[in-house]
Amino acid sequence: MKAPRIVLAVGFLAALAVRIAYLTRFTTNFDVAAFENAVAILRRGGALYVETNRYNYSPVWAHVLLGLDAVAVRLGWSLPAVLGGFLLAVDGATAWVLSRLAGGGRRGAAAALLFFANPVSVFVSSVHLQFDNLSILFLLVALWCLVRTPLSRAGAVAALSASLLVKHVTAFFPPLFLSRRHRPGLGPGATLLPYIVFAAAFLPYWGSRDAVRRNVLEYRGLAEDYGSAMLAKIPGSPAWLPTAVFLAACAAAILLLRRHAVEPVRAALLLFLVTLLTIPGIVEYYFVWPIALGSLFGGAGYAVYTVTVSAFFLGSPDGLNLPIPHLPGWHGVWWSLVLWLAWELRERRSILSPR
């Protein structure tokens, strides 16, 4: 009984040490410089979305950064140092929620460790200092509110709203949790509420609405050779085709997952996989999106994806940029996602069967 606990404890301590080691070596990068610029604009009372096109999220995250910067000034630290510590705490909280979703005990601790020690999660939070996992933490809290007994609809709506406000990577998720005849969930009004809250956050920026539309709603990541963006390379294809394919794929996934009453946690994982497979613009830290949910289920697809993305980060100019030949590129990551989705669907053939 003691041996597994010791192994888990050693695993957590080793992962924590690696994360802290990376944080102590961090200087800056393009995105953190953009965060610092957003803080500077807010401090002087400037127009956030007009003065920069490098801030592509709701104003809530900018004000979180402003608060972290105030802490940094008080402590005499840099904003990246405080931000890194904050993101480390976020991943610790995510690991705890995952342990609850997994039912606690040894299984819960294993799921938590699988996330906390995952190289993809470590890279995004502790090497790149990106905050996608904060949005995903709130998604996990929403799922916890929906699957526990008794369920908490108010808690789920609040958590989904917070998730969208931090970073709208979970924009397609609220409809996934609509009530069905044999599965309790959210009502139509409750499903709309996170979108209303998200829109309301921009009301103070109504005068900058054109800049908000360009920088937030029309932002598409980077135009790499990945996903549905490859359709734009077909001669004569319309510019809107990649986005149309992406939206159609996500809508079809939501309909299928609801029609076959896939339980909420696994449905959320599958929706993330479809989203990442068909997204029309990509940034490498998007690859963390399915990691937390995947840690609850494991499997060959999860393992291959983790290894492939980790190898991709080793050679990426925005990763560790190691001069190692033949590491996976964008296509390699995409195909590992295809394998992961195929593995999940193979395990749940009913999703593809007519009903």
Residue 331 has pLDDT above 60, yes or no: yes
Residue 201 has pLDDT above 90, yes or no: yes
- Tokens describing residue 273: 């996989």
Which of 38, 43, 36 shows the shortest CA–CA distance to 79? 36
Q: Which residue type occupies 204?
A: P
Report pLDDT for 66.
98
Predicted structure pTM score: 0.95
78-83-89-94 Cα dihedral, nearest 10 degrees: -170
What domain range is 182 assigned to?
A: 2-351
Which comes out higher in pLDDT, residue 4 or 98? 98
Residue 227 pLDDT level (bands cut at 50, 70, 90): confident
Report pLDDT for 252.
96
How far is the C-alpha of 259 from the C-alpha of 351, rounded, in Å?
8
The whole-number average pLDDT for the span 213-237 is 90
Residue 177 has pLDDT above 60, yes or no: yes
Helix (H) or strand (E) holding 97: helix 79-101
Domain count, the chain: 1
Residue 223 pLDDT level (bands cut at 50, 70, 90): confident
How far is the C-alpha of 75 from the C-alpha of 83, rounded, in Å?
13
Residue 161 pLDDT level (bands cut at 50, 70, 90): very high
CA of residue 255 relative to chain centroid, distance: 21
What three-state secondary structure class fits 104? coil
Which of 173, 101, 303 shows the shortest CA–CA distance to 93? 101
Quote the mean pLDDT of the chain: 93
Report pLDDT for 187.
92
Neighbours of 34 (CB within 10 A): 15
The whole-number average pLDDT for the span 61-80 is 97
Report pLDDT for 7.
83
